[in-house]
Structure 1
Amino acid sequence: MVTLRVLFPMLYDAIPYESSSSDYLNFGVLSLLTVLSFFFPINRPLWQRQVYILVEIGCLIPTRMFSDWGLDPFLYLYLVKSCFLLRRRDVIVTAIAGGVVWHFSYAWRLMHNIAMPIEEFQAMVEKHLQAVQDVPQLLIIDAVFNNIVIYIPFSLLIILLCLTLISERKSRQQVSELAAEVEVLAADLERTRIARDIHDSLGHTLTTLDVQLELAQALHSTNPDRAFQALNLAKKLSRQSLQEVRRAVSTMRQGQFDLSVALTALVDQMNQSPTFQVEAQVNLPKLSQQVSQQLYLIVKEGLTNIQKHSQASTVNLWAETTPEGITVGLADDGIGFEEVTPRSGFGIRGMRERVQLLKGQMKVHSAVGKGTLIQVTIPN
């Protein structure tokens, strides 16, 4: 009857029931809770989620203090909702504080009812019984309406909670699938890295070793002395290959990899060759392990390419920080090449792949007879 009298004022005469201020309070609270049930701020900042739960529970307190409506189930639903929105500590505090305030409000209401004069209480009961006898059909309709009023917010909240659980399960499944894809991608990247490292460390040496062994095989009967020299050189190259492997492993696995020191050592090694001389100017801050290692291998491959193809006598190497990021450059006075000619060698391709891993840019400028300039820029 309360629902009918509040929602349908034209029935005031048909239903002998007088709506009180507590009835309007309860309907106002139910309306507000229904609106709030359409929002679930799971991705909002913590303080907004705390205010959301506080408002919902705070709205229930007046209904417990000033009316006899049974809105107790809403309190438990909002405690369930707090488990999804708040931290564990906040949920425990909310449960304890909400329970204490709720039961104090309930005790206050009981004290108010007990203090009511017995005559007034009897008159109220008789009035309600008379209303039921006068309009029993409307009482049934009223009971259905009251249940609908409670059913709507309850069902909305339960649906939202279930949708949240389903969404979370789907998110976990997607995370698992992405993790599997990352593992496959990491394996592919590792295979590519190993191929680049083998080429950078051993490619040139093993190629020269193969040439010397073929030369010794061809000359062992016609020119034994020249064949013996080729074998000695092959032995030296094989020893150098082992040293390069050990150096690469020790360099790449150092806990504190200093790029400036590593580049200085690389330049000293290159300057031992009579082919060309490297003039270096390295002024770099301390960089991350990943960036330092990749830049080291880029420079090493660039110097190897110059040694193999450029016929240069002087090479300039510089590494510095600029407003755009970290800049590393190599310039030689070799024979150069036409820029329109595709460069399909694994060395240049490997350098570009390493630069892409660092999200940088690599520019190559060259002309026949005017040397080559390679410049790499890595963003900060």
Structure 2
Amino acid sequence: MGGIPQPGRWVPLVIYGAVLAGGVYWELTGDSSGQPIRLIGFVAVIALLFALETVLWRRPPASTTAAAGLLVVRVLLFVAASALDGSGTARALIVLVPFLGYFAFGRPVAIALAGGCVALVVTGYTVRTPGWYRDAAYVSDLLMISIGLVLAVAMAAVAVAERGARARLERMLERVAELSTTTERNRLARDIHDSLGHHLTAISIQLEKASAFIHRDPALAEQALLDARSSAKHALSEVRRSVGALRDEPSGFSLRAALTELSDSVDDGLTVTVDITGEPDRHDAASLTALYRAAQEALTNARRHARAGRVSVAVTFDEAGARLVVADDGCGLAAAGERQRAGGDPPGFGLLGMRERVQLLGGEVSIDSPRDAGTVLTVTIPRPAAVVGEAR
């Protein structure tokens, strides 16, 4: 409470410096005969004011009461400086009373202090010089003091407003950092699930096959182990690709090649066909990656849970955007979920991650999956230009 914001800290120091220079100059060039003690006292008071501000920069007052006490101390030092200053320059210190009071008590009290300062000046003129208001010099001094007080209150208001704006900006930046961290964490979770999750599922299936046929059909079991090893290599490639993306290294990703490789890696009784129409290279990398991850997730679900025999993957690219349709002849999403729960598998996050990834690109995901009638997954992603056009 009561601390001077960074933008306003220089104001008291400038005024102290001006008062010190004016007072010392007057004492050295004017009629200062027999007044060295007064000069030393004046310099000491201004030095105390400088020291006080330096201390308060490092340790601002912790309460309103402490700030009020410090304001009183300052006012007493202002009075002492005015009494010791023969040039009258120290009267300028009065403008600091509402300026400092603004930070301790707020605008209403600062305005009241400014009014009190004007009243004090008028009272002093009246007591010392009756009829002062007929003297242009006194009236001019009063006007100048009044203008200085108004400017002091205005400067304090600007400093407080800037401090508030900086605080809001810092809170906003902290919030942006939190959101960025959350977004990146969710993205990494999706990548881990979509890439490693798919390959680990394939490895698990192949190892289960190898375990089941190790005695009945050793050749088939050996082939299953080889397929599991191949899936492990693919998983390692996915990890390297993800690390390269984190380092902003070009990945050279090709959707056509990735989907072809994905379909070729399936050899456990599931038939996968891939059909790509249009020009994938005319679409951005984020959209292509989202389509690939969606196809990968759909294929994993068809193999692992839907017990499908055939899966068709069709991708169409045109000027409006991209459309992915993955259809299988499995047991349907509801039955697959029942199988998953009955087998003790944890609930999947694949569909959630897929929707998040696609929605970030302005796309949509729809699933048609009646029981025992297969599943049709449709993903549509508009081209960035189309999104901008719709927003306009």
Question: TM-score with structure 2 length normalisation?
Answer: 0.49
Is 1:257–1:292's contact at 8 Å kept on the other side of the alignment? Answer: no
Is 2:262–2:296's contact at 8 Å kept on the other side of the alignment? Answer: no
2:351 to 348, 351, 358: 348
Cross-structure match for 2:178: 184
Cα distance, 1:276 vs structure 2: 1.5
**Change beyond 3 A, Cα 1:320–1:293:** same
Cross-structure match for 2:378: 374
Q: Aligned partner of 1:270: which letter?
A: L
Determine helix, strand or coil for the equivalent of 1:276.
strand
Cross-structure match for 2:51: none
Larger Cα Rg: Structure 1 or Structure 2? Answer: 1
2-structure distance, mates of 1:356, 1:170: 36
**Change beyond 3 A, Cα 1:168–1:174:** same
Find out whether 1:283 has 2:275 as its counterpart: no
**Change beyond 3 A, Cα 1:289–1:148:** farther
1-structure distance, mates of 2:205, 2:326: 29
1:328 to 323, 326, 336: 323
Cα distance, 1:225 vs structure 2: 5.5
2:361 to 329, 336, 358: 358
Cα distance, 1:345 vs structure 2: 3.1
Is 1:283–1:321's contact at 8 Å kept on the other side of the alignment? Answer: no
Is 1:298–1:354's contact at 8 Å kept on the other side of the alignment? Answer: no
Note the residue ranges of structure 1 that are not aligned, 5 or more in a row.
Answer: 1-72, 74-134
Is 1:365–1:373's contact at 8 Å kept on the other side of the alignment? Answer: yes
RMSD: 4.1
Cross-structure match for 1:263: 255
Give a deviation string over 1:82-123, Cα, whole Å, max 9, x none. Answer: xxxxxxxxxxxxxxxxxxxxxxxxxxxxxxxxxxxxxxxxxx
1:337 to 324, 332, 338: 332
Q: Aligned partner of 2:381: which letter?
A: T
Find out whether 1:233 has 2:231 as its counterpart: no
Note the residue ranges of structure 2 that are not aligned, 5 or more in a row.
Answer: 1-91, 93-128, 339-346
Is 1:209–1:237's contact at 8 Å kept on the other side of the alignment? Answer: yes
Is 2:199–2:235's contact at 8 Å kept on the other side of the alignment? Answer: yes
Cα distance, 1:217 vs structure 2: 5.0
Is 1:339–1:365's contact at 8 Å kept on the other side of the alignment? Answer: no
**Change beyond 3 A, Cα 1:184–1:214:** same
Is 1:306–1:332's contact at 8 Å kept on the other side of the alignment? Answer: no
Give a deviation string over 1:141-182, Cα, whole Å, max 9, x none. Answer: 876654554444443333233222222223223323333333
Give a deviation string over 1:277-321, Cα, whole Å, max 9, x none. Answer: 111124357555555544543454345445554543433212333
**Change beyond 3 A, Cα 1:175–1:299:** farther
**Change beyond 3 A, Cα 1:303–1:145:** farther
1-structure distance, mates of 2:150, 2:287: 52
Give a deviation string over 1:160-212, Cα, whole Å, max 9, x none. Answer: 33222222223223323333333333333333222221221121221232344
**Change beyond 3 A, Cα 1:149–1:139:** closer
2-structure distance, mates of 1:235, 1:335: 27
Is 1:334–1:372's contact at 8 Å kept on the other side of the alignment? Answer: no
Q: Size of the alignment, in residue pairs?
A: 242
Cα distance, 1:264 vs structure 2: 1.3
2-structure distance, mates of 1:169, 1:179: 15
Higher mean C-alpha deviation, range 357-366 or range 214-223: 214-223
**Change beyond 3 A, Cα 1:222–1:247:** same
Determine helix, strand or coil for the equivalent of 2:318.
strand
Q: Give the percent of matched residue pairs that are identical in Structure 1 and Structure 2.
A: 28
1-structure distance, mates of 2:312, 2:212: 35
Determine helix, strand or coil for the equivalent of 2:183.
helix
Cα distance, 1:372 vs structure 2: 0.8
Q: Aligned partner of 1:377: which letter?
A: I
**Change beyond 3 A, Cα 1:329–1:216:** closer
Is 2:324–2:379's contact at 8 Å kept on the other side of the alignment? Answer: yes
Which has the bigger relative contact order, CA under 8 A and spacing at least 6?
2
**Change beyond 3 A, Cα 1:338–1:206:** closer
1-structure distance, mates of 2:143, 2:358: 64
Cα distance, 1:352 vs structure 2: 0.8
Cα distance, 1:263 vs structure 2: 1.3
Is 1:212–1:234's contact at 8 Å kept on the other side of the alignment? Answer: yes
2-structure distance, mates of 1:222, 1:312: 26
Give 1:128-167 correspondences, 5 Å limit. Answer: 137=131, 139=133, 146-167=140-161
**Change beyond 3 A, Cα 1:293–1:241:** closer
